[in-house]
């Protein structure tokens, strides 16, 4: 498969469905909304707000009615497609996965619209089994490496390292993207 072709196909599918849904709803996209849909910004021009700092002034963030409308129409298009034709959910899942993989701004719009990328059920369990296998192999190597009886300090170091590896692997498995 060609990644550029997949991205173009996914992008065209999502834009086409959003425009069709907007037309079907009786309120087609305006020229500004269509331009925004085709040229989504890569990042926000708004400053990052740190709510923990009491010295920083509160920043009022204006609502972006055009972006909100696109999110609403995208959500409605996804919901109507999956409700009327459950097989079309595969097209949406493909588009979401390809756009997210390429870090395209359209993936943010789809995330705000509520579309999700489906993962296999066994994916997380396979990761946990692989992590446990790695941890047990390292622990076995450390136990075999020394012939002398272990001191309490060595057992504490082994236990701390083992727990740290488990926590890091758990956090890594919970992270999206």
What pLDDT is attached to residue 46?
A: 55
Q: Which residue has the higher pLDDT, 176 or 161?
A: 161
- The answer to whether residues 68 and 91 belong to one domain is yes
b/e string for 79-111 if b means 16 or more Cβ within 10 A?
Answer: ebbbeeeeebeebbeebbbbbbeeebebbbbbb
The CA distance from 86 to 94, in Å, is 14
Instruction: Annotate 11-29 with three-state secondary structure.
Output: HHHHHHHHHHHHHHCCCCC
Which whole-number Å values give the CA distances from 169 to 140, 156, 157, 159, 176, in the listed order?
18, 20, 18, 15, 13
Percent of the chain with pLDDT over 90: 5
Q: Which domain holds residue 74?
A: 3-113
User: Comparing C-alpha atoms, which of 127, 139, 110 is closest to residue 17?
Assistant: 110
> What DSSP designation does 52 have?
T
| pLDDT for residue 49 is more than 80 | no
- The answer to whether residues 107 and 146 belong to one domain is no
- The answer to whether residues 88 and 147 belong to one domain is no
Is the Cβ–Cβ distance between 109 and 74 less than 8 Å? yes
- The answer to whether residues 101 and 65 belong to one domain is yes
What is the total count of domains within the chain?
A: 2
- The answer to whether residues 75 and 127 belong to one domain is no
Is the Cβ–Cβ distance between 40 and 110 less than 8 Å? no
- The answer to whether residues 130 and 97 belong to one domain is no
- The answer to whether residues 102 and 29 belong to one domain is yes
- The answer to whether residues 107 and 161 belong to one domain is no
Q: How confident is the model at residue 177 (pLDDT cuts 50, 70, 90)?
A: very low
- The answer to whether residues 11 and 86 belong to one domain is yes
- The answer to whether residues 34 and 86 belong to one domain is yes
- The answer to whether residues 7 and 47 belong to one domain is yes
Instruction: Confirm whether pTM is higher than 0.95.
Output: no
Kindly report the average pLDDT of the chain as a whole number: 80
Close Cβ partners of 93 (under 8 Å, ≥ 6 residues apart): 117, 118
Of 88, 113, 138, the domain-final residue: 113
Mean pLDDT value of segment 54-61: 64
Return the number of other C-beta atoms located less than 10 Å from residue 16's C-beta.
Answer: 11
R_g (Cα) of the chain, nearest Å: 24
């Amino acid at each position: 498969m060609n990644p550029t072709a997949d991205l173009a196909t996914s992008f065209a599918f999502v834009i086409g469905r959003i425009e069709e849904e907007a037309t079907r709803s009786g309120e087609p996209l305006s020229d500004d909304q269509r331009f925004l849909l085709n040229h989504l910004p890569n990042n926000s021009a708004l400053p990052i707000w740190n709510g923990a700092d009491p010295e920083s002034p509160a920043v009022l963030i204006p609502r972006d009615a055009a972006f909100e409308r696109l999110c609403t129409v995208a959500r409605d298009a996804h919901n109507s497609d999956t409700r009327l034709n459950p097989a079309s959910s595969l097209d949406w899942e493909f588009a979401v996965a390809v756009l997210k993989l390429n870090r395209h701004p359209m993936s943010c719009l789809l995330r705000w619209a509520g579309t999700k990328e489906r993962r296999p059920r066994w994916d997380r369990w396979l990761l946990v089994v692989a992590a446990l296998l790695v941890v047990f192999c390292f622990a076995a190597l450390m136990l075999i490496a020394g012939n002398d009886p272990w001191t309490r300090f060595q057992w504490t170091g082994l236990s701390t390292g083992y727990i740290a590896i488990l926590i890091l692997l758990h956090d890594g498995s919970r992270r999206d993207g």
